[in-house]
Amino acid sequence: MGKVRSPSPLPLLLLLFLSLLPSPSLCDDSAAMQDIAKSLIVPQWKLANGDPCSWPGVSCQGGSVVEINLRNKGVSGELSASISNLSSLKSLQLQKNQIKGDLPSLANLASLQSVYIDSNAFSTMPADFFSGLTSLQTMTLDKNPFKPWSIPDDVSKCENLVVFSASDAGVTGNIPDFFGKMPKLQSLTLSYNTMKGELPASFKGSNIQSLVLNNQQAGSQLTGRIDVIARMTQLSVVWLQSNGFTGPIPDLSDLASLTDFRARDNFLTGVVPPSLISSATLKNVTLSNNKLQGPMPKFADGVTVDIDKGNQFCVENPAEQCDPRVTSLLEVAAGFEYPMDLTESWQGNDPCKNWQGVTCGGQDIVVLNFANRRYSGIISPAIGNFASLQKLILSNNSLSGRIPDSLTKLQKLTLVDVTNNDLSGKVPEFRQTVEVRKEGNPNIGKEVDPSGGDSGSNGSSSKFQAATAAGIVIGVLVGMGCLAAALICYIHRRKRKKFGRVATQTPANGPELVKIGVMGMNLNDGSWNGRYTQNNMGSTTDTQGMCMSIHAIRSATNNFSEDNIIGRGGFGVVYKGQLNGTMIAVKRSRVGLIGEKGNEEFRAEIDVLQRVRHRHLVALLGYCDDEDEQLLVYEYMPGGTLEQHLFECSENGFSPLTWQQRLAVALDVARGVQYLHSLAQESFIHRDLKPLNILLDNDKRAKVSDFGLVKLALDKQKSMMTRLAGTFGYLAPEYAITGKVTTKIDVYAFGVILMELITGERVLDDTRPDEDTNLVYVFRRNILDKENFLKSSPDPNLHLDEEDLISLWEVAELARYCTAREPSQRPDMSHAVNKLAPLVEKWKPTSCDDDSDGDPEMSLRGRLEGWQNGESRFTEWYNEDPSIRYV
């Protein structure tokens, strides 16, 4: 048998050596933990050995630190930035200690699931704190004296987040809309901060169960209505107390798990909804110190209630009901969306005791007068409950919807005055003894698509637009022969891709006179002239009386002299001129633009301006479509463009606009765009709102111009896809990226204009540092610090007193809302009007002219003077009654 060889000792020695080496992960975590131990004062770590995995409160897996739990252990000192090197850390629990200094970043700790650092003394929140925390489920930051900070977008990428709590943590700004889109978020706590703004619309349909937003501090308040709460069906706890919320408490029937509803110390109005009173799960409700009306609600036994202080219930005993007159009047107020002036005036249970707007004869209500109040909403059918009513006066508001049929049963009624509102639909058939005043409602008698937001008494709307019906009637009246000719002509025009031309005949009385003609169209070397043409938006447009001779326009502009040029743009050149003693502005398309795109925009501008008439939209006086020329003739605005006044005032010899002038301009523009958006039959989107397209008169009042890019909003609740148009800097993000068009893209552009009015700076300026090139980003960043914003952001040319600064701040906040990233977070233009109107010291209401243009043969001077005289009479009437202050 051979000799057995003993194994070599070398492999065994190598294995022994390797076993003595620490793992690389433990080595890295050891260094980080040693740094943490140097800056933190942890009593339990004083006698700990060198292996962090054996320290009290530290848990490891595979040699890596996965948990640090020092909750309420008397820890002080500062937290080292080395905490970000613990790549396997899953849970960090440092709450209820005295740790101070800057909070280090936790960026890119992808395994981190829970962070509890509440009830400490951290002072600064790093900008990248939430970056890369993809596994994060719970974050509590409460009760730390952080310097003001706003919640960054990085939080939206924490898709597993279940609990986010930052109460009393120095949070400023608005509630980010992304919280409502986080599918796993169940608890959101942001109380005792300095937050502002409204509840995000994105909360609708979210899975949030606990919403705690109470007691915003330092003069800051969350504001607006709380309607979205009704759509947060998973809610169990709602704390909104000590804020500035307004409007009624919505129907909470869908909140099947609601246990705790706290909304005391706000400005809530209206009647407490039965769905809250009868909630089977409710355990606690606080509603004291609001403006609530109606009967004192009686909650079920076992519900803790705080409601009896500081409200305006009609009776003090929960078992009693309001007087029927009070109940009906509150329904009327509900139609008006519970305006605050009525809420404050209507107290007690007897409406005949100095209730605002209510006049009684004995104990019967005989007059309801709510004129000149700026009310929105609808006319409530409950008005039909007042059997003795003689006069209903609702003039000069912004009421929409229909006149309710219930008014026709009021036998003593003699007057219904709804002039100057936004009513629509068929007017009910009243008795002959009833005077119905309905002037100033452009859509009265027209059916409105209910998706557009107008809700009458029955909410119905005809499927056929009035304009379409009118076209059918006209076609029948004209006869089959004319219809056939029109069809042939239309096909011929489509084949040629060419808009109809106006014959360039010399006027009989000389070239200086305007040629009043009709739109002509060549057909087989003949001509067919018709009063109506089919425009590119599918409706019929009356063009008679608008066509002008090329010879007259050449004569008016000195043959398009360079000396007459007052503006240039991508479309071409604008000239001033004088025609029959009237100053005009002529927009002349540049050579080469007259093609399909040029024809499209030319037709669009004619079409829009013939169908809309408003004192803050520039008036189209005529046009000429010659073989080689496309010309639009406008009223002349001698004050130039807003762009010249804001950015080129010294070059143009203008004095800088005062703050009051800028406010008035903002309101004028808002009014004009609101009118475009709110037309019931055909609502339009401007798409190119900017200072260059805002013209001023000698009194610095503004009109919106340039409608070549306008689009018809077929459905106000939907968007359209279209080719990108407009001007960079004013383009809403969703439009620039996707081409989707809604009225909210105009709202965004309007917000940019407000920023320019405040700062006097262009939205895009390459002379600013790279990070500040876009004014929107700079503005939205700076506004987070109100004090510094008011010191550094306003235009240095403005001389602002304390009252001016208050209004400037309100406009700045409006600008921020209008430029919100999400379209759903932007207000409608009607909201902008309502916000700006009270800030303008003396404002005249919009006069909506009659839809018709009057006599088609009226001269240009006569037409313009008629409009001006109408405005003058309006101004005189306004000045005679100084009590009238409405929009």
Q: Using the Cα atoms of residue 456, residue 462, residue 463 and residue 469 in order, give the sign of their dihedral.
A: negative
Helix/strand/coil percent split, the chain, to 5? 30, 20, 50
For residue 341, the surrounding DSSP H or E stretch is: helix 340-345
154 included as an active-site residue: no
Cα of 12 vs its chain's centroid, Å: 76
| Cα 406 to Cα 328, 385, 401, 823, distances in angstroms | 13, 8, 14, 38
**Cα–Cα–Cα angle for 361, 364, 366, nearest 5°?**
65
Provide the H-helix boundaries in 235-323.
274-277
Taking residue 491's Cβ as centre, other Cβ atoms within 10 Å add up to 10
Check if the beta carbon of residue 125 is closer than 8 Å to that of residue 115: no
How far, in Å, are 373, 375, 418 from residue 342 at the CA level?
Answer: 10, 11, 19
Could you tell me the two tokens for 736?
């620039």
Which of 607, 688, 706, 795 does the annotation list as catalytic? 688
For residues 758 and 535, what is the distance between their CA atoms, to the nearest angstrom? 39
Q: How far is it, in rounded angstroms, from Cα 333 to Cα 336?
A: 5
For residues 175 and 200, what is the distance between their CA atoms, to the nearest angstrom? 7
Residues 6+ apart with CB under 8 A from 155: 130, 161, 164, 176, 178
Q: Any idea which residue has 């003039």 for tokens?
A: 395
Distance, CA of 104 to CA of 81 (rounded, Å): 5
Neighbouring CB atoms inside 10 A of 9's CB total 9
Of 699, 705, 662, the residue nearest 686 (C-alpha): 705
Question: What letter does residue 418 receive in the DSSP assignment?
Answer: -
Find where tokens 């010899």 sit: 653
Instruction: Give me the long-range contacts of 105-110 (CB less than 8 A, separation at least 24).
Output: 105/81, 105/129, 105/131, 106/130, 106/133, 107/131, 107/132, 107/133, 108/84, 108/132, 108/133, 109/84, 109/133, 110/134, 110/135
- The three-class DSSP label of residue 686 is coil
225's CB contacts (< 8 A; 6+ apart) are 198, 245, 246, 247, 248
CA distance 257 to 280: 9
Spatial neighbors of 304 by CB under 8 A, at least 6 apart, are 283, 284, 285
Helix locations, 451-549, DSSP H: 466-478, 480-496
Residues 6+ apart with CB under 8 A from 53: 26, 59, 60, 63, 65
DSSP state of 169: S
115: β partners: 92, 139
Q: Is 576 assigned to a binding site?
A: no
Structure tokens at 679: 């037309």
CA distances from 735 to 194, 720, 762, 822 (A): 32, 10, 20, 11
Residues in the chain: 887
**DSSP H stretches of helix in 186-335:** 274-277, 324-335
Detail the residues annotated as belonging to a binding site for ATP.
Answer: 587
Task: Name the residues annotated as catalytic.
Answer: 688
Detail the residues annotated as belonging to a binding site.
Answer: 587
